[in-house]
Chains A and B, each alone.
Chain A
Amino acid sequence: MVSDRRKMTETAVDLLEQFASGDAAAFEALFGEYQGQVYGWIVRIVRDPAAAEDLTVETFWRIYRARARFDPRCGFGPWARRIATNLAVGHLGARRPETELSDEAPPAQARSSPPDAAVRADVREKVAAAFEKLPARLRAAATLAMIEETPYAEIGAALGISVGAVKSRLFRATRLLRKSLIGAGVEP
């Protein structure tokens, strides 16, 4: 059992070393193994499946280009997630809301779980609009922490910041959200 596990670990390390040395087959194997994880992480942040697919391919493209700098001892998953997070935050920053408070629900909500029925539709729309107006870096942290309930340590590792900095971003996001909601006539 132990020798099987050791053998598997050695195989994984071999694969990472082959990838780092430019082996195309090793990259394909890693892509197959990690594409679902990377996509799942990105789609939680950007909340748009089509954009998440594009960003997943872009993430692996950047990984492929940076393969010479990859250290197999640090693990592929955390490295990929870090690159994916940077791209997702960049995407959020580039996509600004078109209207301040529209009557229609923004696309961010389109494929979410059904929201709580106890929250009125107009309030949901105002909350979503206020959320869309957050700066990208705060929004990414707030989405992962408040909505997806991801552990702070995981968010911090992906954003390349400490747990304290995650809490700080969350605090700032909450304050901005409250201000925005009060401005929109919603008393949290």
Chain B
Amino acid sequence: MNESDERVQELVRRAIGPMADPELKRDLWPRMRARLETPPVRVPWWDWALAGAVVLCLIVFPAAIPAVLYQL
């Protein structure tokens, strides 16, 4: 590292400065517990079936791909 690089780093250090107070101010466990208790998002089986049907259609009729992309 040359002198010029060191000057850039020194300027950054002096201009921005380290975090003044990196301590956690409150207990995050209540938020964590709420997150753990949130039921996972379940995708209904018919959504999977619909997605599968669309993919199958695109495989069988690739000419439809531009039309589908246009609708998105």
Encoded as 1 (CB less than 8 Å from any B CB) or 0, chain A from 91 to 116 comes to: 00000000000000000110111111
B17-A116 in contact (CB<8A): yes
B23-A36 in contact (CB<8A): yes
Interface size, chain B (Cβ < 8 Å):
28
Q: Does B60 contact A (CB under 8 A)?
A: no
User: Which residues of chain B are near A56, meaning CB under 8 Å?
Assistant: 24, 28
Tell me how far the C-beta of B11 lies from the nearest C-beta in chain A, rounded to whole angstroms. 5
A181-B8 in contact (CB<8A): yes
How far, in angstroms, from A146 to B14 measured CA to CA in the complex?
10
User: Which residues of chain B are near A57, meaning CB under 8 Å?
Assistant: 28, 31-32, 35
**The residue from A116, A149, A178 contacting B8, defined by CB atoms under 8 A apart:** A178
Interface size, chain A (Cβ < 8 Å):
46
A113-B24 in contact (CB<8A): no
**The residue from A39, A49, A112, A119 contacting B11, defined by CB atoms under 8 A apart:** A119
Q: Does B69 contact A (CB under 8 A)?
A: no
How far, in angstroms, from A149 to B5 measured CA to CA in the complex?
16
A-B contact count, CB below 8 Å? 112
B13-A177 in contact (CB<8A): no
B29-A146 in contact (CB<8A): no
A127-B15 in contact (CB<8A): yes
Which residue of the partner chain B has the closest CB to A40?
A: B22
On A, residues with C-beta under 8 Å from B are: 28, 31-32, 35-36, 39-40, 43-44, 47, 49, 53, 56-57, 60-61, 64, 108-109, 111-116, 118-119, 123-124, 127-128, 131, 142, 146-149, 170-171, 174-175, 177-178, 181, 186, 188
- Can you report 30 residue pairs joining A to B where beta carbons are below 8 Å apart? A31-B29, A31-B32, A35-B24, A40-B23, A40-B24, A53-B24, A53-B28, A57-B28, A61-B36, A109-B16, A109-B17, A111-B19, A112-B18, A113-B17, A114-B20, A115-B15, A119-B11, A119-B15, A123-B11, A123-B15, A127-B15, A127-B16, A131-B16, A147-B12, A148-B18, A171-B1, A174-B5, A178-B4, A178-B5, A178-B8
